[in-house]
Structures are given as structure tokens and as C-alpha cells.
């Protein structure tokens, strides 16, 4: 691999190789990509041949492909970049050594302009680029459309931005999840509800994405409220959006009219069919008990994957919450095999095995599939991705099909598809 080596100083090579060997030994291990020939591909029935997004494949053998990874390896985003890197390389080392493409990692935190870094990787012989990770860097990379090789960006371009050719977009997008939640709410037969979202840019973007999709399907949000994640009590905004404050006002009016104290049970609004409450898991564990306290326990609550973190004891507070998430977080034979193998490879503690690790793992398999032009009917790339069922859509978007679940007494219950 002279001239285009993997930068071994930034990750434990022995541990990654051990993880590869362990995963490869599991009966449910992910498939290993090898250069595909037409003879190896199963024939597709004529009725299944539907139009699919166009793929620009690099028509050279995989062992001669040179992949440039553009990730933050230092600075404030180093942890995120390293998790993606570790997942990518764990999948990479599954392949037999003779069949592996060559990989070189570039630190975007120290690289200056994105155009300069892409030009450097291209001069170094890259046939394919994976990254960058942040949305501003992805937008800058998209502006350099002609002089670079095909690219799998690890974030989405801003809404309304046209993607150039040979530009693929893969992201763990909360706004994409919010649109999926809206479709699920409609599929469950709910048409009117309220939303409780964190204050700030994240909450604004997620709420806007949900509202657009929900209204397009005929739904209507009757009210929204914001919570401050720095606080430990959300009673104020919750009672406001549930109209509990109006119930107390009626009590005060009646006591004033009769000039005597009255026995009273507050009453929430009765015109809602659901609550949309996306928030981090720590905040969600506070929101759900307060909703029950204020008489909303009979109203189904929906959220994005941010609301879930594996912890059966703490998640008892989330009883009844409906959310969507990736297979990696919800468990199953393949995710469990990969997670177990990674833990055995790093017995003293290793990479963070969170969502970004799975994201990097799937990014490697997507890279190989795109290099080979391996895209099935309807754009299907990977039905068993750790981050979801992966499909290539228009504009180079990689769409993730996620799993719906509900928490009952802290335990996960998988919900049927709608």
C-alpha cells in the first residue's frame, strides 16, 4: 500500500483486526463485499426491474481503489470523527487483506479549506472520498464538483440545495426522522395533536420538518410549546400547552363567584389525539412523567431516536413512548454480533459503540456498494444496515428505513410496520 497507506497512528490496528476476525466468525455476521462480476449476481425477475437512481461506479478492482476519509480527528468534534472512523475500519478489516481497498484518513480540523483538502486527496490518488462530516464542510465539498472523484458525504446538503453529480449523501438526520414520525402518526389514524420541543435551533428544525410532513398528509398541530433543556422542571410549558392553566382559571372564577373554596380536579384539553415530543433521553425521562402527572397519560406520545438510550431502569419513566431507531440500538442477531465482537476486541475499553460507530460501519459498506454500482431494485443497497434499511434515492440521498418501538416497563417492544 505504498504511497496511500492507512494512517495507523490514530487507531488500534490489532484491535480492529481482532474485531474483524470475531465478527467474521459469527453466523449472523455482515456480508463481506468482494469485487462483483455479472456472473455472481443473482438474476432479477423482470417484474422487479423498476427505475432506480443512477450510480457512478469506479470501474477498477477494489484492491486498487484508494479511499480518502475526511473526518475531524482533533478539536471539538474529534470524538464524533473517531467513532465514525472506528466503525468504518471495523467493517473494513472484515475483508480479506488481498481484497481491501486502500484507505487514507485526513483530519478536517487541521486541513484549512475543504477545497484544498479535496485537491490534496485527489493529488494523492483518491478514487473515492468518504466525508466530510459537518454540514458546512459538506456544502463546501459540493461546490467543488468537477475536480474531485465520487464522494459519499456524511451529512446532508441544506434543504433546497441541488447535489452535483457523483455526490452521495448519508446522514443520521433528526429532521428526516421527524418526517418519518409524522407519517407514522398519520398511519396510526391521528390527525390533531400538539408538540413539545426543545428551545433552540435543533428543536426549530425538527418541529418544522414534522409540521410540513404532517400538514401535507392532512394533519393539524393545534399548539406547540418549547422547553428549556437547562431546567429540571417543564411543568410551566406542559401545563400551558395542555391548557391546564385554563382549568385553574375556571376554578378561580368559580371560587370568586361563590366566595368559597371548592374541591377541584384540573382537566387537560380533550381535543388532541397525540403528542409529538422529540428531546434527548435525559429530557424525555422528565417530560413523560410530567405528562402523566398532568392527566395526559392516555394520549400517545411520539418521538425521534434521540429520546432513547439503553437503560431499562431509567427507561421505566418512558412507559408507553413510541419512537423509531436504528437496528444497532434496538438489538437483533447482527447488531448483537458486531457489538459483542467489538467489545471482545477491546476488553479494556475501546471505541464508543454508539450510533456514530454504526454510522461508520454502514458508511464502509455503502462505499463498496457505490464503487461497484451495487444498487438493487428501487435503489435498495443494504436491507440489513446497522443504521437501518439503506436505499439510494434521488439527489444521491441515502434513505434509512428505521424500526418502530414502544417502551413498556423499561423494555423495548417492536411495533409492526404501517
Contact 128, 150 (CB under 8 A): yes
The pLDDT score that the predictor gives to residue 145 is: 72
The residues spanned by each domain of the chain are: 8-39+47-173+330-401, 175-328+405-414
Question: The pTM is what?
Answer: 0.86
Could you tell me the CATH superfamily of domain 8-39+47-173+330-401?
Response regulator (3.40.50.2300)
3-state class (DSSP) for residue 405? strand
The pLDDT tens digits for 7-54 are 433 445 555 555 555 444 443 333 333 333 222 233 333 333 334 456
Cα angle 215, 388, 131; round to 5: 95
The pLDDT tens digits for 239-281 are 999 998 776 655 465 556 667 675 655 779 999 999 999 999 9
CB atoms within 10 A of CB 139: 17
Q: CB-based burial of residue 98 (10 Å sphere; 0-12 exposed, 13-18 middle, 19+ buried)?
A: exposed
Please compute the mean of the pLDDT values over residues 109-132 and round it to a whole number. Answer: 94
Q: Who wins on pLDDT, 58 or 363?
A: 363
The torsion region of residue 236 among left (phi > 0), alpha (psi -120 to 50) and beta comes to alpha
Q: How many residues does the chain have?
A: 418
Gap between the Cα atoms of 121 and 104, Å rounded:
9
Gap between the Cα atoms of 94 and 245, Å rounded:
59
Name, in order, each residue with C-beta under 8 angstroms of 418's C-beta and a sequence gap of 6 or more: 184, 187, 188, 404
Give the closest residue to 139 by CA, choosing from 99, 167, 119, 116: 167
The pLDDT tens digits for 134-172 are 999 999 999 877 778 999 999 999 888 889 989 999 999
3-state class (DSSP) for residue 355? helix
CATH topology of domain 175-328+405-414: Rossmann fold (3.40.50)
Amino acid at each position: 500500500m505504498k504511497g496511500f497507506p492507512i494512517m495507523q497512528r490514530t487507531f488500534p490496528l490489532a484491535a480492529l483486526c481482532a474485531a474483524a476476525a470475531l465478527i467474521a466468525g459469527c453466523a449472523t455476521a455482515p456480508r463481506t463485499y468482494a469485487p462483483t462480476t455479472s456472473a455472481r449476481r443473482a438474476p432479477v425477475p423482470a417484474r422487479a426491474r423498476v427505475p432506480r437512481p443512477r450510480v457512478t461506479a469506479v470501474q477498477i478492482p477494489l484492491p486498487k481503489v484508494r479511499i480518502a476519509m475526511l473526518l475531524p480527528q482533533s478539536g471539538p468534534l474529534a470524538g464524533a470523527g473517531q467513532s465514525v472512523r472506528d466503525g468504518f475500519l471495523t467493517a473494513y478489516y472484515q475483508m480479506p487483506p488481498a481484497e481491501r481497498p486502500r484507505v487514507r484518513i485526513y483530519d478536517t480540523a487541521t486541513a484549512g479549506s475543504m477545497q484544498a483538502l479535496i485537491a490534496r486527496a485527489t493529488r494523492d490518488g483518491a478514487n473515492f472520498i468518504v466525508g466530510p462530516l459537518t454540514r458546512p464542510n459538506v456544502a463546501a465539498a459540493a461546490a467543488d464538483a468537477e475536480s474531485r472523484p465520487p464522494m459519499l458525504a456524511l451529512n446532508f446538503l441544506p434543504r433546497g440545495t441541488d447535489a452535483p453529480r457523483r455526490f452521495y449523501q448519508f446522514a443520521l438526520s433528526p429532521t428526516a426522522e421527524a418526517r418519518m414520525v409524522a407519517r407514522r402518526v398519520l398511519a396510526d389514524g391521528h390527525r390533531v395533536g400538539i408538540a413539545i420541543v426543545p428551545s433552540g435551533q435543533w428543536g426549530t428544525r425538527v418541529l418544522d420538518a414534522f409540521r410540513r410532513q404532517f400538514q401535507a398528509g392532512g394533519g393539524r398541530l393545534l399548539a406547540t410549546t418549547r422547553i428549556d433543556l437547562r431546567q429540571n422542571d417543564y411543568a410551566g410549558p406542559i401545563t400551558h400547552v395542555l391548557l391546564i392553566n385554563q382549568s385553574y382559571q375556571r376554578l378561580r372564577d368559580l371560587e370568586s363567584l361563590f366566595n368559597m373554596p371548592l374541591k377541584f380536579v384540573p382537566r387537560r384539553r380533550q381535543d388532541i389525539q397525540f403528542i409529538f415530543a422529540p428531546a434527548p433521553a435525559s429530557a424525555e425521562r422528565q417530560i413523560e412523567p410530567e405528562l402523566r402527572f398532568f392527566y395526559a397519560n392516555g394520549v400517545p406520545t411520539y418521538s425521534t431516536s434521540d429520546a432513547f438510550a439503553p437503560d431499562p431502569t431509567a427507561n421505566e419513566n418512558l412507559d408507553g413512548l413510541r419512537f423509531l431507531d436504528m437496528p444497532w440500538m434496538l438489538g437483533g442477531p447482527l447488531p448483537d454480533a458486531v457489538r459483542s465482537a467489538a467489545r471482545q476486541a477491546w476488553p479494556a475499553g475501546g471505541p464508543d459503540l454508539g450510533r456514530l460507530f454504526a454510522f461508520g460501519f454502514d458508511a464502509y459498506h455503502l462505499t463498496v456498494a457505490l464503487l461497484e454500482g451495487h444498487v438493487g431494485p428501487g435503489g435498495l443497497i443494504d436491507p440489513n444496515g446497522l443504521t437501518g434499511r439503506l436505499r439510494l434515492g434521488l439527489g444521491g440521498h441515502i434513505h434509512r428505513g428505521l424500526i418502530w418501538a414502544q417502551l413498556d416497563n423499561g423494555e423495548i417492544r417492536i411495533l409492526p410496520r404501517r
